[in-house]
Structure 1
């Protein structure tokens, strides 16, 4: 039994190390390749598909400047113009930064200060920026700051997708996808015409080698864009219909799994206020102008919530997995760790107690579950946190079946008000596939 537990711990630690190494590779890659390279690449790709197809394929086929060519290609050029304009807005618009004066309501901060020595959780706090996080904001490791309503960091726009440029980004991918589909339709029509002409022995319609090369290149590139950007567009529209960012979609999946496993109390996602209102929050209140570029509504610091939602819930969302939490910056345990590290920096020969497993990187690891046990302070913290969650969820679990809510058995049963900054920037490819959490049988 001890061997199995040790093996499981070693395997978990190995997976965590591999995941950390994988997460560290992407920032280094993005730091090595200047962001402007991605932007220039996108501009060249759009320009090549849009204009080489017209100059070498469509205009010669329609007799250059004719009424038929104008009626066919003007819609394409209008789409391309909207692609470039929305791309420009997505690249150059600041996604949103936390104002220096912003703090959560005093009613949320005051209770935390009163029991700060007991490590009670509170509104989310960013250790990297040393500021409180407004609802739905996250820290971007690439931009090295917190972003309002952060969706994800997109290297293709060399910018974060956040509150201020989220609508521009959604319109950009919609128009890019539509324009490439339009090009594909014209290419297919052109190929059908050529094949039909050859079948009827009209060999003068046979394309030149240059036209064949550009036809193949445009078809391949447009198809790749439609496939990749199309998947992203569908997923973004799905998230927009639920009024959630990519990060929040990931968080909701984790929260739902944790609730099913009985690790946390049920808490409702507060920002899903209905399909129509969800879309209006991103694209504007007038449906006829949803695809027309415009500034985002609101300041990115507060958002409409479901009627009857506890006003504190947006500041606490999402509930954290008790098994993955680290000590709160408000806790005395965190202060003790900082004091020990400061003492060692001043006097390397000083004798201090052994570390209890806290690392500045955000990891909270010990070699064995038996090396650490909850002391009175942390037990009190756990009770206070659970009471806080009870206030938010409106559910009292002592009246429920005994197996519906289980307190985790290890030492990491600590709720923290600060976010793990390393978790805020998640690879976009992982959003379309929900992360699997081991079954409760292994807990």
Structure 2
């Protein structure tokens, strides 16, 4: 679950103290006693890259929509009343930054900034360089401990007391930082590289899965297709909902496609730009963050089957609907089993058991607000 700090400035102060204490104390009190000058220089260069990438992650604007943005055809029209502008795909309004953020991943308390399209490469490089530095330092610390333990019977004057003190403090602290940042990097890679998703979009997919498991999603998708694709009411109707509801083998991926997942390499290029510049401190992402390359499944065709029409819906495919309206398809279709036969019938317009998108939480207890999203601006049309 995202961290919330009572004093936001601690989000930057804590990482700065940790990097300084672990990096510089580890160097001057331990590494300088036995490490070669070339390796010490390499370690200092690594620390400099940490500071540089962290600086850019903090001060680079994550990206905001250009003024008077016009929503392309077959995309949801999501108007931000605070910015008085339409949001591009994948953009959300951050309550803390007070702006719409392009491809918003989350608001990060450790940078006091949103992680979005423009600064995600800096954020990812910061994590990488922290892992490289802490892994290198941990290896050297453990190696030094082994040497000192082997020579423990030598006279005391051959050891630096300060080295022993800082070995005791820095070894577990460095291991803790390495573990936590590695977990965070793995989550970023799993979401963005292997699935092409931001953290918000991963949360969105979990919400859709919950709707699908409760048999509520398909009618919402059909209503969304009616809204976004003109002339589909005859092709996709209540009979379609009945047919899909009776299909016990139907899976979420049969009706929901995440359009921005290409393949791991292409996802990485979209996120980090030119592969030759992935570790370059000033490397930028591909594109302008206003529109994104989509997979072939998301291509709309008026001649497509109704299953393909549902798969070609823009993200999120239900349009971010918070609740089915009275008399809507999603509140009127129900699949029941009676005397061994499966039947489709209308049910009362009771949606009291539905949880709105603004309030829904995943298994981690996260809702949209936990990622920094201003939920008052999240109504699509």
- Identify whether the pair has TM-score above 0.5, normalized to the shorter chain: yes
Residue pair 2:30, 2:163 contacting (<8 A) in 1 also: yes
Residue pair 1:251, 1:318 contacting (<8 A) in 2 also: no
Separation of aligned partners in 2, 1:127 and 1:421: 20
Separation of aligned partners in 2, 1:421 and 1:297: 33
Separation of aligned partners in 2, 1:403 and 1:205: 85
Gap change, CA 1:283 and 1:257, over 3 Å in 2: same
Residue pair 1:320, 1:415 contacting (<8 A) in 2 also: no
1:77 CA drift (Å)? 1.7
1:409 CA drift (Å)? 5.0
1:234 CA drift (Å)? 0.8
**1:425 partnered with 2:369:** yes
Task: Specify the alignment match of 2:222 in structure 1.
Answer: none
Gap change, CA 1:108 and 1:272, over 3 Å in 2: closer
Gap change, CA 1:421 and 1:92, over 3 Å in 2: farther
Residue pair 1:325, 1:412 contacting (<8 A) in 2 also: no
Gap change, CA 1:413 and 1:195, over 3 Å in 2: closer
Task: Specify the alignment match of 1:99 in structure 2.
Answer: 66
Which residue, 174, 179, 199 being the options, matches 2:133? Answer: 179
Task: Specify the alignment match of 1:252 in structure 2.
Answer: 205
1:152 CA drift (Å)? 0.7
Separation of aligned partners in 2, 1:403 and 1:88: 61
The 3-state SS of whatever aligns with 2:100 is: strand
Gap change, CA 1:143 and 1:33, over 3 Å in 2: same
**1:239 partnered with 2:191:** yes
Separation of aligned partners in 1, 2:347 and 2:320: 11
1:128 CA drift (Å)? 4.3
Gap change, CA 1:165 and 1:405, over 3 Å in 2: farther
**1:211 partnered with 2:163:** yes
Separation of aligned partners in 2, 1:252 and 1:236: 16
Where do residues 6-45 of structure 1 align in structure 2 (5 Å cutoff)? 30=5, 32-35=6-9, 37-45=10-18
Residue pair 1:271, 1:306 contacting (<8 A) in 2 also: yes
The 3-state SS of whatever aligns with 1:169 is: helix
Greater share of helix residues, 1 or 2?
Answer: 1
1:267 CA drift (Å)? 1.9
Gap change, CA 1:193 and 1:102, over 3 Å in 2: same
1:255 CA drift (Å)? 1.5
Residue pair 1:123, 1:316 contacting (<8 A) in 2 also: no
**Gaps spanning 5+ residues in structure 1: where?**
1-21, 63-67, 110-121, 328-373, 387-396, 429-443
Gap change, CA 1:195 and 1:54, over 3 Å in 2: same
Gap change, CA 1:98 and 1:412, over 3 Å in 2: farther
**Gaps spanning 5+ residues in structure 2: where?**
219-254, 301-308, 336-340, 361-366, 373-381
1:103 CA drift (Å)? 2.2
Where do residues 118-137 of structure 1 align in structure 2 (5 Å cutoff)? 122-137=76-91
1:100 CA drift (Å)? 1.9
1:325 CA drift (Å)? 2.7
The 3-state SS of whatever aligns with 1:146 is: strand
Task: Specify the alignment match of 1:228 in structure 2.
Answer: 180
Give the TM-score taking structure 2 as reference length: 0.71
Where do residues 152-301 of structure 1 align in structure 2 (5 Å cutoff)? 152-199=106-153, 201=154, 203-208=156-161, 210-240=162-192, 241-265=194-218, 266-286=255-275, 288-293=276-281, 294-301=283-290
C-alpha distance after superposition, 1:94-146 (max 9, x if no partner): 001122211212x459xxxxxxxxxxxx5233344443221111122222222
**1:75 partnered with 2:42:** yes
Separation of aligned partners in 1, 2:347 and 2:47: 56
The 3-state SS of whatever aligns with 1:299 is: coil
Give the TM-score taking structure 1 as reference length: 0.62
Separation of aligned partners in 2, 1:405 and 1:123: 33
Gap change, CA 1:195 and 1:259, over 3 Å in 2: same
1:247 CA drift (Å)? 0.9
Q: Which has the larger radius of gyration?
A: 1
The 3-state SS of whatever aligns with 1:410 is: coil
Residue pair 1:126, 1:421 contacting (<8 A) in 2 also: no
The 3-state SS of whatever aligns with 1:273 is: coil
The 3-state SS of whatever aligns with 1:249 is: helix
Separation of aligned partners in 2, 1:38 and 1:170: 17
Separation of aligned partners in 1, 2:135 and 2:111: 21
Please identify, of 74-83 and 145-154, the stretch whose mean Cα deviation from structure 2 is larger: 74-83
Count the aligned residue pairs: 310
Separation of aligned partners in 2, 1:285 and 1:83: 21
Task: Specify the alignment match of 2:240 in structure 1.
Answer: none
